[in-house]
């Protein structure tokens, strides 16, 4: 991104996390492309896609198979979150706190030029946390409503039947919301933002340059420095303001 000691990098995502993200990427896309034509089956493009997949029977089969994979992935993820909650590095620091709300407003002030100081973000900034929680929450909603539609006979042994058409509406609505959010928000932040265009490689290489880390996740930079986990030349410097080669907003 910027010059200086830019070439040295630290690991941001483990191989397992990258594989997980890759599987999520694949399954999300397959679910969207087999699910949306079912929601919009009255449209010409919806019909054509369903014909392309070999008919509604096959479309549903693919959709449900991949959905099972995604749910399994989600359960695995929760397991890992619990198991690694005390790990000092590469933590799932996703718990939302009041600080993230404050960060968001502070960042909005910064972006709009009303403040010259960008809030100091930790391992994940408020945008990444919101997106993560949206994915988590969305997957839960999609899994629950999807299973209700898949097994209506079973579900209506305990629940009123109206949950079935309600689940159908929620499944379609949540799907549309998820897709639009990813297209707009994730694509912007991971692909189209001017500093990462055409894409942020961190999720595939697993590495982030120290320069970027210090710039975008200054608190994590400090933590890694304290732990002595930064590459040569970055540690052990005293915590606090490193000599800034650029006029960055990390203050």
Partner 1 sequence: MYWLILSAALWMLASPQAGLAQTNETCLACHQVEGSKVRFPGGGEIDVTVDPKKFAASVHAPLTCVTCHTDQADYPHRPVKAKTARSYHVLAQQICATCHADQAKVFEASIHGQGMRMGLADVPTCTSCHTAHAVVRPKTAAFRNNIPETCGNCHSDAAVMGRYGLRPVYQAYVEEFHGVTTRLYRLVTPLTPSPSAVCYDCHTAHAVRRPADPESPVAPANVLATCRTCHKEAGRFFSTAWNEHQAPSMRHSPLVYMVQVFYKILIPGVVGLLALLTALDLWFWAVTRWGGRKA
Tell me which residues touch partner 1 (CB under 8 A). Answer: 38, 41-42, 47, 50-51, 54-57, 108, 110-113, 116, 127, 149, 152-166, 168-170, 172-174, 176-177, 180-181, 184-185, 188, 193-195, 246-249
Tokens found for residue 199? 């894409």
Token pair, residue 52, equals: 């392309």
Identify which of residues 31 and 170 has a Cβ nearer to partner 1 in the complex: 170
To the nearest whole angstrom, how small is the minimum distance from the Cβ of residue 21 to partner 1? 20
* Nearest C-alpha neighbor of 206 from the set 70, 19, 25: 19
Q: Name the minimum Å distance from CB 222 to partner 1.
A: 21
Shorter beta-carbon distance to partner 1: residue 87 or 193? 193
Complex with partner 1: residue 29 or 246, whichever CB lies closer: 246
- Confirm if 128 and 157 have CB atoms less than 8 A apart: no
Q: State the minimum distance, in angstroms, from the CB of residue 72 to partner 1.
A: 25
Whether the CB-CB separation of 211 and 2 falls below 8 Å is answered with: yes
- Containing H/E element for 10? strand 9-11
Residue 119 CB burial class (10 angstroms; 0-12, 13-18, ≥19)? buried
18 vs 186, beta carbon nearer partner 1: 186
What is the closest distance, in whole angstroms, from the C-beta atom of residue 110 to partner 1 in the complex?
Answer: 8
Of the pair 22, 137, the CB lying nearest partner 1 is at 137
Nearest to 14 by CA among 92, 68, 70: 92
* CA 204 and chain centroid, separation: 13
Quote the least distance from Cβ 161 to partner 1, whole Å.
3
Cis before 236? omega within 30: yes
Closer residue to partner 1 in complex, CB, 50/67 = 50
Are the beta carbons of 210 and 231 closer than 8 angstroms?
A: yes
Backbone dihedral region for residue 4 (phi beyond 0: left; psi -120 to 50: alpha; all else: beta): left
For the CB of residue 175, give the shortest distance to partner 1 in the complex, in Å. 10
Q: Whose Cβ is closer to partner 1: residue 101's or residue 108's?
A: 108
- Provide, rounded to whole angstroms, the least separation between the CB of residue 221 and partner 1: 17
């Amino acid at each position: 991104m910027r010059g200086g000691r830019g070439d040295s990098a630290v690991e941001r995502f483990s191989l397992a996390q990258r594989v997980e993200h890759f599987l999520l990427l694949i399954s999300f896309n397959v679910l969207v492309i087999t699910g949306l034509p079912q929601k919009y089956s009255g449209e010409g493009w919806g019909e054509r896609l369903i014909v392309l997949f070999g008919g509604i029977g096959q479309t549903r089969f693919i959709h449900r198979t991949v959905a099972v994979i995604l749910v399994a992935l989600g359960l695995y993820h929760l397991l890992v979150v619990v198991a690694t909650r005390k790990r000092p590095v590469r933590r799932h620091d996703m718990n939302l706190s009041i600080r993230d709300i404050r960060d968001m407003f502070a960042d909005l002030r910064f972006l709009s030029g009303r403040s010259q100081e960008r809030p100091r973000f930790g391992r994940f900034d408020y945008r990444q946390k919101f997106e993560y929680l949206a994915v988590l929450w969305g997957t839960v909603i999609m899994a629950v409503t999807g299973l209700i539609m898949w097994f209506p006979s079973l579900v209506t042994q305990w629940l009123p039947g109206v949950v079935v058409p309600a689940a159908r509406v929620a499944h379609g609505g949540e799907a549309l919301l998820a897709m639009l959010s990813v297209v707009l928000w994730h694509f912007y932040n991971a692909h189209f933002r001017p500093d990462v265009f055409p894409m942020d490689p961190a999720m595939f290489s697993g590495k982030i340059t120290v320069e970027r880390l210090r710039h975008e996740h200054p608190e994590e930079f400090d933590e890694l420095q304290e732990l002595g986990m930064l590459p040569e030349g970055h540690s052990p410097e005293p915590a606090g303001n490193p000599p800034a080669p650029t006029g960055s907003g990390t203050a």
